[in-house]
Amino acid sequence: MTRVEFTRKIVSLLNDMIDHGDEPIIDYVKRSLAEQQRLFALGRSKCDGIKKPSRHQYGKGMDVYFINEYGSIEWSPEIYEYWHKIWEKNYGGAKMIEWDKGHFE
């Protein structure tokens, strides 16, 4: 999937989420090598940016989180599992990474 295709599809997914009544927020779409290496060094990514680059470095990965009724991030796995199934089925996106549920690529 090209970066343009990814952008179109992720925007459609975000619109689906909003139309469904969820409140998504986006985080980390495009990362520099330095940022990827910083996250790897902190243990927040399994991609070192060189030997194993992240899809974020190519603008083909995005983290999506949901705001709950209390105004904080919802960590319940069900909402992430639901939207990853839609992402895979309707948009050809990758399967959910179990340890990084908010990541869509």
Determine the Cα–Cα distance for residues 83 and 17; give it in Å rounded to an integer. Answer: 8
| Number of structural domains in the chain | 1
Helix residue ranges per DSSP H, the chain: 3-19, 33-41, 77-91
Examine the pLDDT at 86 and tell me if it is beyond 90: yes
Determine the Cα–Cα distance for residues 90 and 34; give it in Å rounded to an integer. Answer: 33
Examine the pLDDT at 1 and tell me if it is beyond 90: no
Q: Is residue 22 part of a domain?
A: yes
Q: Is residue 84 part of a domain?
A: yes
Classify 6 in phi/psi space as left (phi over 0), alpha (psi -120 to 50) or beta.
alpha
> Residue 64 forms beta bridges with which residues?
26
Q: Is residue 36 part of a domain?
A: no
Q: Is residue 7 part of a domain?
A: yes
Examine the pLDDT at 28 and tell me if it is beyond 90: no
Distance of CA 105 to the CA centre of its chain: 6
Residues spanned by the domain of 90: 3-29+61-104
Q: Is residue 18 part of a domain?
A: yes
Q: Is residue 73 part of a domain?
A: yes
Q: Is residue 25 part of a domain?
A: yes
Give the pLDDT confidence score for residue 15 in this predicted structure: 98
**Does residue 67 sit in helix, strand or coil?**
strand
Give the pLDDT confidence score for residue 29 in this predicted structure: 85
Give the pLDDT confidence score for residue 11 in this predicted structure: 96
Mean pLDDT, the chain, as a whole number? Answer: 94
Q: Is residue 52 part of a domain?
A: no
